[in-house]
Structure 1
Amino acid sequence: MLTAENVSMWRGRYQISADGSPIAVWDPSWWRTGGDLEVDGHRFTVRSNTWGTNYRMLDEAGNEVATVERAGRKRWSVQADGRTYEFRRASFWRSEQELLVDGVRAGSLRRKSMWSGAIEADLPGMPIPIQVFVVGVQIALWQAEQSSGG
């Protein structure tokens, strides 16, 4: 299980931990939707398209590692390592996303608190860097939603 804690209220920076041990830092971009990740000493860049619906995760050499399509929609997906991971919004009223396997809930990603911004992710079967990418994209979406007043 991953948890993400906001370590800088003004900057929107998050410390991401797996089972209580720090594994990554999400550092949001000031100018574009997305941010930078560092996982196990490897840096990744996350950028979105103009509308913030598609995200790409690039490694240090600029190679695409993973993509998110239809971010912010009721149903969206992640492509990485030749696999597709399907997600759906659990409810219009809650900040929770469900990971689906063959149409059945297999995991989730949820905001633990609107006030602290803490996030909890249970994404079994997904490599850690891709889990961190998914958490980073959700942070970017929730931050964009908050700044637009929606």
Structure 2
Amino acid sequence: MLTARKTSLWRDQYEIGADGRVLTTWSNSFWRQGGDFTLDGRSYRVRGSIMGRTFTMTEDGGEPLAEAGRVGRKRWTVTAGGHTYHFRRASFWSGDQELHDDTGRRGSIRRTGFWRTGVVADLPGLPPPVQVFVLGVVISMWNAEQTAAAAGAGGAGG
């Protein structure tokens, strides 16, 4: 199980850990959707499309290792290592995400804490870099939704 905790109110950076130890830091990209992280001495780059509906993970700028599609929809997928992982929003009212397979719900990603700045991800069966990729994609999705909601609220006045 992965945990993510925002490192500062001012920076969009998360420490990602497991079993009480920090594994990596997810640093959101300032100019684009996505981010970067290093895991087990390997550097990964995650980049999203303009609208943030697709994301690709590469290692040191090489060939794609994982791709997420239809991000932000009720149902979306991640393809990595010849496997396709299916995700869906837990409910209409929640941004929490669930990992599903043919037998049903296998895992989840949810916000934690009073200000909802922490995240817990239980993604059994996914390789560690893919788990961090999925977690980063969900964090990016939540940030984009929060930004859109704030922009919409600011323009409603007359």
TM-score range, shorter chain: over 0.9
> 1:45 maps to what in 2?
45
RMSD of the TM alignment (CA)?
1.3
Using the alignment, how far apart are the partners of 1:134 and 1:77 within structure 2? 10
> 1:106 maps to what in 2?
106
In the alignment, does 2:83 pair up with 1:83? yes
Structure 2, unaligned stretches of length 5 or more? 151-158
Using the alignment, how far apart are the partners of 2:142 and 2:34 within structure 1? 11
Could you tell me whether the CA contact under 8 Å between 1:54 and 1:68 is conserved in 2? Answer: yes
TM-score, scaled relative to structure 1 = 0.95
Cα distance per residue 1:17-55 (max 9 Å; x no partner): 012111111001110111111111211111111110000
Alignment of 1:26-41 (within 5 A): 26-41=26-41
> 1:65 maps to what in 2?
65
Could you tell me whether the CA contact under 8 Å between 2:45 and 2:61 is conserved in 1? Answer: no
TM-score, scaled relative to structure 2 = 0.90
Change (3 A) 1:41 1:50: same
What is the identity percentage for the equivalent residue pairs of Structure 1 and Structure 2? 49
3-state secondary structure, aligned to 1:68: strand
3-state secondary structure, aligned to 1:115: coil
Deviation at 1:114, TM superposition (A): 6.1
Using the alignment, how far apart are the partners of 1:61 and 1:47 within structure 2? 10
One-letter amino acid matched to 1:123: L
Look at both structures and tell me which one has the larger radius of gyration over its CA atoms: 2
Cα distance per residue 1:73-105 (max 9 Å; x no partner): 000000000000001101011121110011500
